[in-house]
Chain A
Amino acid sequence: MSLLEIEKLSLSIGNTPILRDVELSVAPGEVMGLVGESGSGKSITALTVMQLLPWAARATGRVTFDGIDILAASEDQMCALRGDDIGMVFQEPMTALNPVKTIGEQVAEGIRWHTRASRADAEDHARKMLDRVGLPAAQFPLSRYPHELSGGQRQRVVIAIACALKPKLLIADEPTTALDVVLQAQILDLLRDLVAENRMGLLLISHDLAVVTEMADRITILRHGEVMEAGDTARTLSEQLHPYTRQLAQASMHVPARARTHEVGLDNPLLQGAKPLLQVDSVTRDYPGRRKSLLKRAAPIRAVDDVSFSIDPGQSVALVGRSGCGKSTLARMVLALDGPTSGTIRFRGQVITGKSEAELKPARRDMQVVFQDPYGSFDPRLKVEKLVAEPLHVLEKKPTNAERREMVAKALHEVGLSPRDMDKYPHEFSGGQRQRLSIARAIITRPKLVVADEPVSALDVSIRAQVLDLFAELNQKLGIAYVFITHDLTVARAITDAVMVMHDGKIVERGRTSEVLDHPQSEAAKALVAAAPDLHRAIARRLHEQG
């Protein structure tokens, strides 16, 4: 007998159809994985079960939870179900908690609402729940505010809210997408334990096939609002009968073909070429500590601690580490957007630390950056021609309009877009196309080095594969060196020659990508490798478990 039964669910918002004949069920104690790319209707399916849809949405079909017809239920009935029998965890932990209420208030609120418990009893219960999700009283009293917690800790609070009343069904919508791999593994473990303890049904929504494979007993694959394939996780993914399933699986394991890799050891300075492109010498960056009172400050925080490395022309290097390890700070200093507290950085032999903007201009021409979020990094009111041409102001001679258009057209062509796209606005492009635009913007000055900060982590798997191919191709064709900042080891494995693992501001391990990822030596690297979801491994383990 299923706990949640979705039959022939169709839904439209206004005149736009979102879901068509979706079928899905979750049994008590079962983990159902709902996989699909962005816009496939995963979140809308979850919100339909919660009846938290935008008010213009119209749903038809049948959704039954524990014998209750959800689509026909009144708002009062739904309020009684939400937070009591059905809990929900959302994607973005940084914004999921009310900033002006303590975590204690927020966990206790639902308990008081549903059980009419006294404030003291509800707080008692909230305390036990926070202990259960790994936030002990000593460090995390109920009086803490969300801004005093990290992303992973906030997600634990959200899980505590959702599971406080032992719901029969938990819906987790991309619960770990915003977290680094180590935190992701911890949160997934916690969810798995909660499922086992209470025979709770879990509807796990994710775009990440490997995560779902590790977690889910059964899987439903959604595309454009329709179910493509559904069934036992291990069988579905090992047989890959449906072409879309195969496409998704292949895209998530995609490794771009690179004819020529750069076989230079980072660890051995003797092997390095005579003229490194980038040379970082014992760079340290301190941030002033928090002010404790008017006159006292806490000790400064060392974000980057005595880091040295060098990169050869054309080399592709990954800088991996958990969130907060200092990798982005280091990247900002390499790009001369921030100055080190001590140490020097040389780019093509020239010192770039402590230089004025005017003196930096030649260096700026040869280094560019690609950011994580293809949605946020463009001014929506500018045309593509202007956007892609932005870095051209660092050229010595200002190009004429005709020259500029020609350069933009060439850059667009190189990233696989049409020169005709020049006169469009950013909103006319999809996420993957926008990331192509930011790559076009980065390569228009013919840089020698591109720093890419999580360049594919906001993209769907199939688009991610295409963008990784593009990075690889540009590396081969134009000889651009890369620094990839990422916590995703599959990205590092796909397109880099060497890996540097950062932990607490230090580089704790470095070497050839395959060596470091296959045989990690340091604790930090081992933790990253162990926590990284891997589709092959997950399928193999599932099959093994099932015999």
Chain B
Amino acid sequence: MTAYLLKRLAIALITLVLASMVVFAVLEIIPGDPARLMLGMNASADQVDLLRNQMGLNAPLASRYLHWAGGLLSLDFGRSYTYSVPVIDLVRERVVVSLPLALIALALSTIIAIPVGLFSAGRHGRAGDTIAMGAAQLGVAVPNFWFALMLIYLFAVWLRLVPAGGFPGWSAGVWPALKSLFLPAIALALPQAAILARVTRSALIEVLNEDYIRTARAKGLPYRAVLWRHALRNAMIPVLTILGLQFAFLLAGTIIIENVFYLPGLGRLVFQAITQRDLIVVESVVMLLVAAVIAVNLLVDLSYAVVDPRLRSRQ
């Protein structure tokens, strides 16, 4: 078990270092001089060069990479070119919106998907299954911003239960902040839940054909107990894999929903930074997301070992 853990950890660290190199290199290659962008089109070449020196842009590539990477380790991400504030402050402001949003959406999607998957697999090929999977098909097909608009219309405009958009900040109190995250979380969660329900169902159906399910039935356990106690845990590996991928997407891939609900999240920060050539912000946020994805994958790998004892003893 320890060896499995250490090996996974080592792989995660190596991936992180390689990813940081790729992120750094890609942003070096793309055109656009941040110094000229900051000073405007009328600045002289001398002025631009001076600023480039100040920003350290004229130093050799390797030393700039090391400086940048070293900064990341001490959470010093540098200063934004456009806002002239430390990047870490920008990121902190956004993470407190994006992370809770992603977690709520993920929790919702799991809470919806697992029971639907169990329901469908238990009625494999019958009417209930067909209806549930038809609904899931719809959930996958309908774009989430459309869902979002419908939700705004229903809950905000018509029922007036929650605000239609914006984020009051956590300082306004936990309940108002949560309320403003409620609709975007549902809009994000439904399509994810649809995918997850389908994965859960097919994983369960495969497991239900295994011999040990018959053994459990021969013990006298009713079908539902067999489904929950024996099938579900064995079907967890593909479900966990998809959950890990979905978390990564929910953390950063939510720009459309953030726009629809006018939320100050990470997605919008990156989008704005890209249009403004604020490379230092782009680099930092992308690295942060990479680190988050790698951490989640590590977590998923470890949860495999919790679910399946065979992975614990085999190295």
Contacts and interface: CB of A to CB of B under 8 A. Distances in A.
B218 A99 contact: no
A88 B214 CA distance: 10
A80 B3 contact: no
Contacts of B210: 95
Interface stretch (A109-117, A188-196, A208-216, A239-247): A109-117
B146 interface: no
A110 B212 contact: no
Interface of B: 2-3, 6, 210-212, 214-223, 225, 229-230, 233-234, 307-310, 313, 315
The residue among A81, A100, A110, A148 with the most chain B CB atoms within 10 A of its own CB is A100
Interface string A99-133: 11100001001100110000000000000000000
Contacts of B309: 99-100, 145, 147
A114 B2 contact: no
A293 interface: yes
Given A110-B220, A113-B225, A145-B309, 20 more contacts: A50-B218, A83-B221, A88-B218, A92-B211, A95-B211, A96-B212, A96-B214, A98-B216, A98-B230, A99-B308, A100-B234, A100-B307, A100-B308, A101-B230, A109-B219, A113-B219, A114-B220, A158-B215, A162-B218, A291-B3
A76 to B, nearest CB: 8
A459 B216 CA distance: 29
Contact of A100 (B6, B211, B219, B233): B233
A297 B218 CA distance: 41
B212 A99 contact: yes
A84 interface: yes
A162 B212 CA distance: 13
Interface of A: 50, 52, 75-76, 79-84, 87-88, 90, 92, 95-101, 106, 109-110, 113-114, 145, 147-148, 158, 161-162, 290-291, 293-294
Contact of B221 (A95, A113, A147, A148): A113
Contacts of A95: 210-212
Contacts of B222: 75-76, 79
The 6 tightest CB contacts between A and B, nearest first, are A83-B220, A110-B219, A83-B219, A82-B220, A95-B211, A88-B218
A242 to B, nearest CB: 32
Nearest to B315: A291
B219 A90 contact: no
Contacts of A52: 214, 217-218
A75 B313 CA distance: 39
A114 B218 CA distance: 12
Contacts of A82: 217-220
12 contacts: A75-B223, A90-B211, A96-B214, A98-B215, A100-B233, A101-B230, A110-B220, A110-B221, A113-B220, A147-B310, A293-B3, A294-B3
Contacts of A81: 220
B221 A109 contact: yes
Contacts of A148: 313
A88 B220 CA distance: 11
A52 B230 CA distance: 17
The residue among B211, B215, B309 with the most chain A CB atoms within 10 A of its own CB is B215
A83 B307 CA distance: 26
B306 to A, nearest CB: 10
B123 to A, nearest CB: 11
Contacts of A80: 220
The residue among B218, B223, B310 with the most chain A CB atoms within 10 A of its own CB is B218
Contacts of B233: 100
Nearest to A292: B3
A106 B309 CA distance: 14
Nearest to B211: A95
A287 to B, nearest CB: 14
Nearest to B215: A96
A92 B209 CA distance: 14
A99 B211 contact: no
Nearest to A50: B218
A50 B219 CA distance: 10
Contacts of A101: 230
Contacts of B3: 291, 293-294
A122 to B, nearest CB: 12
Nearest to A145: B309
A97 B313 contact: no
A109 B215 CA distance: 11
A147 B212 CA distance: 13
A82 B215 CA distance: 10
A79 B220 contact: yes
A518 to B, nearest CB: 39
Given A50-B218, A52-B217, A79-B222, A97 B6 contact: no
B218 A79 contact: no
Nearest to A148: B313
A294 B9 CA distance: 13
Contacts of B307: 100
A83 B218 contact: yes
A110 B221 CA distance: 7
Contacts of A79: 220-222
A113 to B, nearest CB: 6
A99 B310 contact: yes
Contacts of B216: 98, 109
A96 B211 contact: yes
A114 B219 CA distance: 9
A84 to B, nearest CB: 6
A290 B4 CA distance: 13
B220 A84 contact: yes
A147 B215 CA distance: 16
B305 to A, nearest CB: 11
Contacts of B6: 294
B193 to A, nearest CB: 25
A369 to B, nearest CB: 28
Contact of A293 (B2, B212, B234): B2
B5 to A, nearest CB: 10
A319 B80 CA distance: 75
